Structure 1
Amino acid sequence: MNEKASLRARAEIDLAALRANVRALLARAGGAQLMAVVKSDAYGHGAVPCARAALEAGATWLGTATPQEALALRAAGLGGRVMCWLWTPGGPWREAIEADIDVSVSGLWALREAVAAAGEAGRTARVHLKADTGLGRNGCQPADWPELVAEARTAEETGAVRVTGLWSHFACADEPGHPSIAAQLTVFRDMVAYAEKAGVEPEVRHLANSPATLTVPESHFDLVRTGIAMYGISPSPELGTPADFGLRPVMTLSASVALVKQVPAGHGISYGHHYTTPSETTLALVPLGYADGIPRHASGRGPVLVAGRVRTVAGRVAMDQFVVDLEGDRTEPGAEAVLFGPGDRGEPTAEEWAVAADTIAYEIVTRIGTRVPRVHVGA
């Protein structure tokens, strides 16, 4: 039996597609550098292999949410610029500074912890000041910006920090024409101008996420941060399909059929019997469930390619398995069931699963659990 058939399930990660996506995004970046965002284990795709592939394709920065994610990249031997932005008090500031990781600061407490850690490490911390230009999440409010900039400049003069970046994040870049896009651009330009007038000389100013990289060229500045688009998924169906932007989905999720059996008409399927067979039929058992990240909300709706046709999950998704009704068609145990992929073979896409589960494709790929091995191809 070949390796593919012997696995209960697998998430195949096409690194050649990822590299092509990075090159396609760089072509749209208008000369800006590209940060490959590999937070949350590269959106479920495997952080270290994806980071390496992105750097090979021309990315010059890697981005993570947590410092632990950034430190793991360094521990794996990845060089280049790495930035992380989601800090809490008492975080591993010194370890990050010693590992040459750029750290983000949104308030005075964080700046002061970075300064103290730089003193302990005996080296200068590389700091990006984050502005809240309207997302209302992380970032420094415009009213507090002068105080943060002033203290950062004082820290620069002592050699404790070097302000290497000024940045912010869009709220609605995935909604074409949303008025907040232009408003945030204006606020960002004003806050950057204030910091630069105060003497800050950033290496990079960055605002664009995946949707802005694709559709808001005036937001590219010195660096774009591409996450979901790098993995070949459109940030929003309103913006276009992956193919519209020259992108290809990187992950294909499949499983080996565990059981095939005939059942009579009127047979209840899975918990609660929310599905009952309308006639005598063939059932196939797919050994993936919500413990593997298959959304229970897609019960009765999730699409699966089995035995040459796209079927729908019959009844509830259970913790470890779900059932599809083959409607009399035949297959064998060990046959491949494809939940989503690029769509080349007629299989569903992650976006179709997102529609079935009333969520976004980001969640579909990032929630695939650790019981599902990542098999990287195209290295």
Structure 2
Amino acid sequence: MFSHKARWLIPLTFIAGSQAHAELQAPDISLTVDAYHKSDNTALGGRVEDLGLSHTELALRQQFGSLAMGKLTAVAESNKEETDFSIEEAYLQTLALPAGLTLRGGRFLSDIGYLNGQHPHADSFTERPLMYRAFLGGHYYDDGVGLSVVMPTDLYWRVSAEAFDGEELGEFESDSTIGTWALSTTLGGDISDSQSWQAGVSYLRNRMLGHAEEEHDDHDHHDHHDEHEDDHHGHSHGAEYAGEHLYMADLVWKWAPRGNNRDQQLTLSAEYMRVTDLNEYASSDDYHEGWYGSAVYRFAPEWSLGVRQGRVKLKLGHGDHFHDGELEETTAMLAWNPTHTQTLRLQYTHQDAVQDWDDTFAGADNAVTLQYIISFGAHDAHSF
């Protein structure tokens, strides 16, 4: 029997065996370095203050004829508190199934939401929105299988179903083969030569939560609070605030003169999340929710600026009841891209603990972040 730690190796073993007959080309190798300096810590994780490396990726991509491709992505993060290494992607994906079908197996980023499926270095801001950090640990990847289909319609319409073991969503203990599963659908199209749009809805079922509740029953409130306080100032891999059901909706609109987005482009995007069935004591009125809206304007080929407003409303568990918590974050950034593979970004973040309980958001602060990203080698095209 394979151990859990070895599961992400299965697709690579399958590649070596079942695709040995395919004509192999040299693999595409890329390195993306994300270096930064942050003036202060902020609430709900994100980057740690001072100098650091955040989500620095070494990726290998291999195509096996016209049938399949495989990808391996190793990630390193380092700051004054810790250095962390992880395997974020290790999967095999089909390229030639009929009827617009694509099958993927191994470790990969879930298709839920708008931002989750893209790597953080492709983002327009130095950190993911509050709700991503609170409910998905920044971005959710896991070991599993996924099947998607692009429908034969005039509009772009993609439907995806995924099943994961759930180990990467949080520190849950479960013997379930399928710990989480997800459904998502995305629609998109052109309004004119200069405008395009995309909208999606997603659902993530967390079957691991019941086991976590049993563990939390053995801890008092102070232990729970101390754990969250540590997470708020450091790096977190999983959801800090979880429930059995996560619902998501996203909407994106882009404008570029005559479709030429190299010289000028305006992107408006917004997402919403709601997390329900928090624990055995939660009623229908007890749920987490969050949203953000952002505007990013490329006003010259090498320059862009953006603003983002976001908020999370949380139900903070205390025994058999809940206290309200609410955190707001406002972000402004200016980015310079001297080349296609480099980004220098200056960002200001302001946080406001609108409603707090027992210093849950004691880390809320203002921060200035200077970020430098540089990529070497071939890399995947960015999504819409």
TM-score, normalised on structure 2? 0.25
**Larger RCO: Structure 1 or Structure 2 (Cα < 8 Å, ≥ 6 residues apart)?**
1
Compare the two structures and name the one with the higher strand fraction: 2
TM-score, normalised on structure 1? 0.25
For the pair shown, the structure with the greater C-alpha radius of gyration is 1
